[in-house]
Amino acid sequence: EIFTALVDMEHLAYTERELLGMLDRAIQAEEQKIQTLKKYMEQYQRVNRELVDNQEAYLHNPVNAYLVVKRLAADWKIVQGVITENVGSKFVENITQVSESLRIPDDEDLNGAAMALIRLQDTYRLNTADIASGEIQGSRLKRQLTAGDCFELGRQSYNNADFKHTALWMEEAWKIWRSESDERTAPLGDILEYLAFSTYKMGDVEGALRLTNQLLDEEPGHPRGVGNKAYYEQELAKQASTVRRQRKGETGEEEDLDVSVREGYTVPESTEEARLPERDMYEAMCRGEITVPPSKARKLKCYYAHNSAPFLLLQPIRAEDLYLKPHLVMYHDVMYDSEIEAIKQLASPRLARATVQNSKTGQLETASYRISKSAWLKQGEHPLVDQVNRRVAQLTGLNLDTAEELQVVNYGMGGHYEPHFDFARKEETNAFKSLGTGNRIATFIFYMSDVEAGGATVFPEIGAAVWPRKGSAAFWYNLHRSGEGDYDTRHAACPVLIGSKWVSNKWIHEIGQEFARPCGLTPDE
Ligand SMILES: O=C(O)CCC(=O)C(=O)O
Ligand SMILES: [Fe+2]
């Protein structure tokens, strides 16, 4: 698929241009066909007029008589041939032939792209109307969605059984439909039917009935409208009788009828207050609403990175603490633009959809909770890869002989990676077994692009976040000194709202760090 890496969408401009070229040639062929038919017609009209005007005299000449017969017996077939020549199906055939090489998005891409928009809408609490007007945090080159575009987003949500967004997008489609008086882009009947049904699915039967009545006002004979109306009326009657019985105390249980009332939540001032469910915490952090509480933030420092590596004396590197326990540190300007460009170039042709390990089967598979493409760059394949690996070793003081290859990642539309651990948990016995290098002791991640909006790396357990900055990097230990996993390192990559996010990471393993980071008997000593 294409939508899972933004860099893979860059060719779409050319793909579309190619298709337009083909359409242009098809139109020309169609016009040519019409011209040919007109020419035949004019020619035949001329001789036919002569024939009609002097019927008998004309046919007395055997040459003329022969020509009349020939026109009707043979020439007319030529016309039939031209008229049935199918330019359209040739066009479709051509497209099918080149669709592989042009990499035309398919239905999976359309669904993925629609879901990406909806993920962004949810995570960043965007207004449906703002998205419809392309108004996403002041981004440039905005484009207004038509009623048809909104309808399609609603339909995609419906196919994913996401009735909340079906309703939001159908409502928006309806609103825009009303302003499209000269050129309608979606059928109102279908908009209203989807809107009514998703309203019903969310528990508002009265609302569904009201909308269906509106549908029938617009289109009295709407085939499904009539049936749906009867069904909703029946449902309402059933509800009313349940309420009556409850009032009379016929049933013991209290039934909650108003399912449409959804719980809201308020964002607490700091993470020390009531904990949010992880999902809410993650999303609030992505929006930048939750940060490290002041009591902890006060202790964070900026300094020059220091260890025994002489490199750091020759080339001071600025470090910034983002959290202390676990220690999350950000290094600034640790990857040069020239390195970034070269690494992107090396990785681009090899990008493949990122996979996750199924914790039950140990199999690698794709998942909607990780949307990106990645490529692995080997030590020794390019001097710059070695140079970057060396820098990680110097900054961390760790042995990189047992580290995984450099993983280069490009996120796609709304690309994200939901909360996860980088280390293998005790029950995930299969995880790194074949490598024979132990667990992932530490993560080093380079940010290879600025991201205009969204795309932070957030740690929901501790409230810390890393906001991508081209050339910066983040580093943390995933394991305690005892070798146990540090559950506070749970982290996520927030959906990219605007821009293209590139990162590369180096996962460092336990074996080889015996002297660099000796183990301890208690978790942290
Ligand atoms: O891209 C990011 O911000 C984090 C990526 C990540 O956590 C991972 O790939 O394991
Ligand atoms: Fe991770």
Ion ligand 2: residues, CB within 5 A, are 422
Span 106-113, average pLDDT:
91
Task: Check pLDDT > 50 for residue 6.
Answer: yes
Task: Check pLDDT > 80 for residue 256.
Answer: no
Gap from CA of 336 to ligand 2 centroid (Å): 23
Find the length of the chain: 525
Asked if 120 and 495 count as a contact pair (C-beta separation under 8 A), the reply is: yes
Quickly state the pLDDT bin for 57 (edges 50, 70, 90).
Answer: confident
Task: Check pLDDT > 50 for residue 74.
Answer: yes
The per-residue pLDDT for 502 is 98
Gap from CA of 378 to ligand 1 centroid (Å): 19
Quickly state the pLDDT bin for 250 (edges 50, 70, 90).
Answer: low
Long-range contacts of 155-159 (CB under 8 A, 24+ apart): 155/194, 156/110, 156/111, 156/114, 156/115, 156/118, 157/114, 157/118, 158/194, 158/198, 159/111
Cα–Cα distance between 125 and 267 in angstroms, integer?
13
Greater model confidence, 129 or 309 = 129
Torsions phi, psi of 228, nearest 5? -65, -40
Lowest mean pLDDT among 31-45, 238-252, 312-326, 418-432: 238-252
Task: Check pLDDT > 50 for residue 260.
Answer: no
Span 72-89, average pLDDT:
90
Strand-pair partners of 508: 442
If you average pLDDT over every residue of the chain, what do you get? Answer: 90
Span 476-503, average pLDDT:
96
Q: Which pair of structure tokens corresponds to residue 380?
A: 């020794």
Asked if 484 and 523 count as a contact pair (C-beta separation under 8 A), the reply is: yes
Percent of the chain surpassing pLDDT 70: 95
Task: Check pLDDT > 80 for residue 139.
Answer: no
The per-residue pLDDT for 271 is 44
Span 453-478, average pLDDT:
97
Cα–Cα distance between 44 and 38 in angstroms, integer?
10
Task: Check pLDDT > 90 for residue 319.
Answer: yes
Quickly state the pLDDT bin for 510 (edges 50, 70, 90).
Answer: very high
Gap from CA of 246 to ligand 1 centroid (Å): 53
Long-range contacts of 302-309 (CB under 8 A, 24+ apart): 305/331, 305/395, 307/395, 307/397, 308/397, 309/394, 309/395, 309/397
Gap from CA of 420 to ligand 2 centroid (Å): 6
Cα–Cα distance between 139 and 406 in angstroms, integer?
32
Q: Residue 71 in 3-state DSSP?
A: helix
Span 166-181, average pLDDT:
95
> What does the buried/exposed string (b/e) look like for 89-101 if buried means 16 or more CB atoms within 10 Å of the residue's CB?
eebeeebeeeeee
Ligand 1: which of 286, 420, 445 to mutate, judged by most atoms within 8 Å of the beta carbon? 445
- 153 Cβ contact list (under 8 Å, min separation 6): 114, 117, 118, 145, 165, 169
The per-residue pLDDT for 274 is 59
Cα–Cα distance between 461 and 359 in angstroms, integer?
21
Cβ count near 131 (within 10 Å)? 21
Amino acid letter, 223: P
Span 164-179, average pLDDT:
96
The per-residue pLDDT for 263 is 34
Task: Check pLDDT > 70 for residue 267.
Answer: no
Ligand 1: which of 404, 409, 440 to mutate, judged by most atoms within 8 Å of the beta carbon? 409
Among 135, 213, 127, 141, residue whose Cα is nearest residue 171: 127
Instruction: For 490-504, write each residue's pLDDT tens digit.
Output: 999 999 999 999 999
- Ligand with minimal distance to 370 CA: 1
Gap from CA of 396 to ligand 2 centroid (Å): 18
Span 315-319, average pLDDT:
94
Task: Check pLDDT > 70 for residue 147.
Answer: yes
Strand-pair partners of 454: 496
Ligand 1: which of 357, 417, 421, 501 to mutate, judged by most atoms within 8 Å of the beta carbon? 417
Cα–Cα distance between 389 and 473 in angstroms, integer?
13
Q: What is the ipTM of this complex?
A: 0.99
Nearest atom within ligand 1 for CA of residue 503 = 1
Span 243-249, average pLDDT:
79
The per-residue pLDDT for 270 is 47
Span 141-168, average pLDDT:
93
Q: Which residues sit with their C-beta closer than 6 Å to ligand 1?
A: 417, 422, 445, 457, 491, 493, 503, 505
Gap from CA of 412 to ligand 2 centroid (Å): 17
Residue whose Cα lies nearest atom 4 of ligand 1: it is 493
Task: Check pLDDT > 90 for residue 488.
Answer: yes
Among 500, 411, 504, residue whose Cα is nearest residue 452: 500
Task: Check pLDDT > 90 for residue 303.
Answer: yes
Q: Is 30 left (phi over 0), alpha (psi -120 to 50) or beta?
A: alpha
Task: Check pLDDT > 90 for residue 122.
Answer: yes
Span 99-127, average pLDDT:
91
